[in-house]
Structure 1
């Protein structure tokens, strides 16, 4: 995509946010969805916070950090995923952080955030720390998910901050960085075999100026299986459609849902599965 086209897309996204503003300045632990910012050096980084009904002050809940795809925004992935409904039913707090000009620095990808050297790791660190300090999020039950470029950012965070996460779920995303996690990690992935943006079998270029091919999805899952010391992905995932296989029951699980002829999309069943997958993961050790 040419720079002019990218800029036009961003302007349209900003216009949509202005046309449909969210409440701001409300108490962060009040039920509903509110918009907030975190000061990060010269930048104020926005995020949406969704607190489920029934949340009580002083009783932190499991947190899912949800990251949008490239050239999108928090409101887009909020609508795309439908995770608010899952959070309300299952008792999660959701944080939807906003990337730099709609992008995340996931390593070898993507676009503006990578070109500008944006420290998205520090932003996510601060976001999680803020919500834990406010008593909204349970430090031992922090999870991360994302779509496309946001999924790549979830992979990067799991690679470099494994001790802070109880599990991740990646939708149509790519591992775009050298990965040496400090501990095993439960991983759930969703990917279409006809994905034109992040090819299922690998190949293509990770970014406009990064002529390095995407890693095949199966290879990425084999990597996490190896990290976790688990068996092959041969068990049908309970409650998942055909094409969802994992390493079997246990505290650590690696699972992949392959969408035959699926494109670059968030499958309609994915959010319910993500909620259940995270609920089944053990909490991090007490500090």
Structure 2
């Protein structure tokens, strides 16, 4: 069961926006369009709405609020940012229902909803483009007590960055993110066919794992500095444990990684949390999506190269931006070590606009 309580009145949305999406670069590059998929079956919910059919108006105020999402009898506050623009005026809103696209914005290990929102400025693009951002916190406190309110995600089957496996009874974060999505749909804020997930580092690993487990819930994903395609094999961390990621439908992927990343090394390591190389993760998603063309490799800037896999099942392309000399950072993000040659936030949203379930 999950329920919602709005905890605060929205903060006024920003009006001077600098992070406007760059334009139809991805569409021109690949010629892709939206992914087709089965219609969503509606089921009754306790508040009278129907799962998969949002209400006419979003019940969350414009700006930034916190919504309680309940799972297994525990309520968790979730940061929600709704653009301060009428749904009918939003560039990508569903003008029949008023529901908007929604992007899950997942924080890294040792982070939280506020830190990732400040880091990648996704809210600014949301205000410009009319989509909702949702930033939950992971299940596992970094310390006990946890005065800084920073968290790890319970990524299925792998230890945290602290090296320990979650104890029995730890919240299932796949179930939790599903409850988050369902709640925003039931509140009339999110179009269930246009739900997307991004994240940095541990949040990227969680977004990857969620797509493996619930490809029926997300139209595309955008892991930054942390794409995975299942957990490393327990017998050989340099290989993927294939059965840990076998999505029943294709999931479009756009991802970014620096080849000088020392946290989640591009070349891989022997860590059961990380393991195999970034290149193998990209190739694995291309394989799972049935892509038959690629990689097509093209320089984007002096230090950024794009690899694209196309002719994929359901048009679910895989696009990889490799940052030469890039660190464990979000391209274009608020980090002195991050490349400013491209904006991951802008490229991610441009990619997402081509897909729906």
Q: TM-score, normalised by structure 1?
A: 0.82
312, 317, 334: which one pairs with 1:253? 317
Give the structure 2 partner of residue 86 of structure 1. Answer: 125
**Aligned match of 1:270 in 344, 349, 357?**
344
CA distance in structure 1 between the partners assigned to 2:188 and 2:300 by the alignment? 33
Q: Structure 1: which 5+ runs fail to align?
A: 1-21, 208-212
Q: Which structure's CA Rg is the greater one?
A: 2
1:122-175: CA deviations, max 9, x gaps? 111111001111110001111001111111111111001011111000001142
Q: Quick one: structure 1 residues 225 and 67, their matched pair in 2 at CA, closer, same or farther if it must change by over 3 Å?
A: same
Q: Hey, what's the Cα distance between the residues in 2 that align with 1:174 and 1:105?
A: 16
- Give, in whole Å, the separation in 2 of the partners of 1:39 and 1:240: 47
Q: Deviations over 1:152-209 (max 9, x none)?
A: 11111100101111100000114253211111110011111111111101114144xx
Equivalent residues in 2 for 1:183-194, closer than 5 Å: 183-194=249-260
Range 87-96 or range 106-115, more displaced: 106-115
* Residue aligning to 1:16: none
1:48 counterpart residue number:
79
1:11 equivalent in structure 2: none
Q: CA RMSD in A?
A: 2.5
Match of 2:277 among 216, 220, 226: 216
Going from structure 1 to structure 2, the CA distance change for 1:61 and 1:206 (only over 3 Å counts) comes to: same
Partners of 1:128 and 1:236 lie apart in 2 by 35
Q: Paired residue for 1:135?
A: 188
Match of 1:234 in 2: 296
What residue number does 1:147 align with?
Answer: 200
Superposition map of 1:46-85 within 5 A = 46-56=77-87, 58-85=97-124
Q: Which has the larger share of helix?
A: 1
On the 8 A contact 2:250/2:289 being kept in 1, the answer is yes
Moved more, 194-203 or 103-112: 103-112
Deviating above 6 A after TM superposition, structure 1's stretches of 4 or more consecutive aligned residues are 237-241
CA spacing shift, 1:109–1:243, aligned 2, 3 Å:
farther
Q: Which runs of 5+ in 2 are unaligned?
A: 1-5, 11-57, 89-96, 142-150, 232-243, 333-342
2:32 maps to which residue? none
- Aligned position for 1:210: none
Residues 34 and 50 of structure 1 are in contact (CA less than 8 Å); yes or no, is this contact kept in structure 2? Answer: yes
- Equivalent position of 1:280 in the other structure: 354
Structure 1 partner of 2:248? 182
Classify the secondary structure of the residue corresponding to 1:233.
strand
Aligned residue for 2:8? 24
Instruction: Say whether residues 1:103 and 2:168 are aligned partners.
Output: no
Alpha-carbon distance, 1:46 to partner: 2.0
Aligned length: 257
- TM-score w.r.t. length of structure 2: 0.67
Deviation at 1:242, TM superposition (A): 3.4
SS of the residue 1:47 aligns to: strand
Q: Distance in 1 between matches of 2:172 and 2:222?
A: 22
Q: CA deviation at 1:265?
A: 0.7
